Amino acid sequence: MASNHFPFATLSVVQTYRALEIAIQWTLDSAFRDVAPLNFTVEVSETPDFSVLLYSIEAGDNFFAIDDKKLRQGATIDLYYRVRLVTGSGGNYISPVIGHWVNKANKHLHRLAAEITRREFVRYRFTGHKGWVLKRRNYGIQDPTQLDPITGVPLSDQTSDYGTGFPGGYYPPVKISYSREAVENSSQLSSEGFGTTTQEVQKHRHAGFPMLEPYDIVVTDTNQRYRYVKVNATFMPGTDILLVQSADAVLLPLTDPIYRIPIPQ
């Protein structure tokens, strides 16, 4: 991504399970340092130069926004999205522009993607599980009291940042549906000399939203918490439309500070 769009690292449009609803999701460069509050706004236009602004969507300090305006009802217009970030220091940053349904071929592919996603959620309804995803923060002003004074590595037992080194640690939880494809258990010698330990790894299947990354957390409906260590994405052939994600998730011990993050009931 061009440097003049710093600190934005990625910007994606992802189909949700509702046919006329999409999510706009972004990530920032981990080197970005600016002061809170951070306020994100998604701006929408019919032209890539944004000469006329159709509407905007306030996202606050989050990593995504949902566009449910249903302006694509007749599939007759093209929409362009960009994200504006305003920081507590007065910084004003604008992401690159991403288009949705910019030509006839894309319109057809987006319709197919919406139908594939809908069927994926039907599958989860009957064979899947409910849960929450905690997206890990990876930018901002780090609190030096939460870092190892020698190595600069975040202290894993801290509650205020949950081992990330950044205030808050994670974004607010996002409700999800997913399927559990496999469960694997392995035994290994404890590095502390306490005999053997067992590690549980689950293989999960997700739809495209939210887009997952290693170190994100999934919370099950029984409040077990897993850290994603590997994520593979499947896209619509010939496009950047994300359809399905396969992820390996490692069960965290009950002593992990991640369990202190409250989850809605």
Task: Locate the domains of the chain by residue range.
Answer: 3-102, 130-260
Strand order of the sheet with strand 64-67?
8-15, 22-28, 64-67
Q: Would you state the pLDDT for residue 174?
A: 96
Which fold, 3-102?
Answer: Immunoglobulin-like (2.60.40)
3-state secondary structure of 215: coil
Q: Which helix H or strand E contains 117, and what residues bound it? A: helix 104-127
Pick the CATH number of 130-260 from 3.30.70, 2.40.10, 1.10.10, 2.60.120: 2.40.10
CA–CA distance, 78 with 225 (Å, rounded to integer): 40
Tens-binned pLDDT, residue by residue, of the chain (265 aa): 445 789 999 999 888 877 678 899 999 998 898 888 999 999 999 999 999 999 999 999 999 999 988 665 445 578 899 999 999 999 999 999 998 776 666 778 878 888 888 899 999 999 999 999 999 998 877 666 666 777 766 666 655 778 777 778 899 999 999 999 999 988 776 666 666 677 899 999 999 999 999 999 999 999 999 999 999 999 988 777 899 999 999 999 998 989 999 999 7
CA–CA distance, 200 with 252 (Å, rounded to integer): 9
Q: Would you state the pLDDT for residue 99?
A: 86
Would you state the structure tokens that stand for residue 96, as one six-digit string?
């690159």
CA distances from 88 to 62, 74, 82, 169, 239 (A): 15, 40, 20, 19, 37
